[in-house]
Amino acid sequence: MFQSYGIHGPVLGPVTGLVIDVILLSLAFWMLASPDMKKASNILTFVTLITSVSLLRVVMTPLPNIQPVTVAALIIGAQLGARRGVAFAVLVTMISNFIIGDGIWTLYQAIGWSVVAIIGASSKIIIDGQLQLNKTFGYAVICAFLFDIIVSLSVLGTVSFSGFMMYLLNGIPYDIIHAVGNVTIAAWFGRWFSEAITKFQSMEEIEQKVVDGYVTRT
């Protein structure tokens, strides 16, 4: 999305674009290729999460750099682990960018949110099934700046180092509103989102137990 804002990343040809899409999709499915993802309910839960967050991102596009995906990736990483967090980040980026606009930035955004999910997985922001809000706020702020820096790397190669630094400097207000937006989303929806994922997990566990019990009896 940096075209028409001024500095533009490398221009992608159709083949390069396709290759990147294939790599990202392969990465997402490889990350999802775990035994529990063979269950239809788990897949359904995951698809629901991806679809709703993608939709939310598209709907919130007019708001300046307020990115619900960052907080979602952080919490999903913490709740479901790094593998599913990365898969979530990659798929949400690809689906939402399919509507908003695709390009080289898709790769960097996917990497950025994957890094956020990995940070979430190792952050311990969920203790005893409860989202620790204060800790989450701190990570949400750090992840906003980190994500923006990773995405800004997409212009490297088209501008000099000083140009890149100026680009980062110009982006500081965007980073700040991203960080403030993250904290707001975490404060208002963080616990609800985390508990919703837990509920899905619990239902899956109950259903699985029922299925397992039925299979054992027969």
Partner 1 sequence: MRSKLLLLVVIATFCLPIVSGEVSQTQDEGEFTQQWSLDFGEVYVSTKPISTDVGIFVRTSSSSLAQGIPSVYSLNFAGDEVWRVENPNSTFQDMTPLEYVDSGVGDCGSWPDMVLVGWSNGLFQALNANTGTIVWQYQTEVNSWGITGSMLIEDETVTIPTRQGIDKLCLDGAIQFSHEIGLGWRNGVTFVGESYWVGDEEGNLWSANNQNATKHFLAQGKIRHAPIQLSNEHLLIHLQTDSGSTIYHFNTTSEQSSVVIHSGYSPGIPIIIDGYVITTDSQHLTSISCGIECIVKDSETFKSNGEISNVFGTVMLPQNTLDGGYGHFELSTQGDLISLGMLNYVDDWYGTAGIESWISDDVKYMLLVNDNANLKMYSTDNTPISYDKQDSDWPTILVILSALILISTMSIQLLRERFQSAFKFFILFVTILLFFSFSDIIEAWSDLVNDEAPATDAWNDDWPDEWLGTQIVVFEFKQETIVTGGLLGNDNVLEASIEAANQQGLEIEIIESSLGKYVVSIDNVAGEGWEYTVNGQPGTVSAEFSDLQSDGIVVWKQL
Residue 133 lies near partner 1 (rule: CB under 8 A): yes
Comparing CA positions, the residue from 11, 156, 15, 135 lying closest to residue 74 is: 135
Residue 159 to residue 139: CA distance in whole angstroms: 30
Comparing CA positions, the residue from 136, 167, 134, 139 lying closest to residue 151 is: 167
Q: Are 15 and 6 in contact (CB under 8 A)?
A: no
Residue 157 lies near partner 1 (rule: CB under 8 A): no
Q: How far is the CB of 212 from partner 1 (least distance, A)?
A: 40
Q: How far is the CB of 30 from partner 1 (least distance, A)?
A: 29
Residue 109 lies near partner 1 (rule: CB under 8 A): no
Phi, psi at 200, each rounded to 5°: -55, -45
Q: Are 159 and 168 in contact (CB under 8 A)?
A: no
| Choices 36-44, 76-84, 97-105, 204-212 (CB under 8 A): range interacting with partner 1 | 97-105
Q: Are 123 and 194 in contact (CB under 8 A)?
A: no
| Of positions 37, 156, 176, 196, contacts partner 1 by CB under 8 A | 176
Q: How far is the CB of 101 from partner 1 (least distance, A)?
A: 8
Phi, psi at 33, each rounded to 5°: -75, 70
φ/ψ region of 124 (left if φ > 0, alpha if ψ in -120 to 50, else beta) reads: left
| Of positions 37, 55, 156, 177, contacts partner 1 by CB under 8 A | 177
| Choices 31-39, 41-49, 64-72, 199-207 (CB under 8 A): range interacting with partner 1 | 64-72
Q: Are 74 and 86 in contact (CB under 8 A)?
A: no
| Of positions 55, 180, 195, 196, contacts partner 1 by CB under 8 A | 180
Residue 167 lies near partner 1 (rule: CB under 8 A): yes
| Choices 73-81, 117-125, 160-168, 193-201 (CB under 8 A): range interacting with partner 1 | 160-168
Place of tokens 């699985």: 208
Q: How far is the CB of 99 from partner 1 (least distance, A)?
A: 11
Q: Which residues bind partner 1 (CB under 8 A)?
A: 1, 3-8, 11-12, 60-67, 100-101, 103, 133, 159, 163, 166-167, 169-174, 176-177, 180-181, 183-184, 187-188
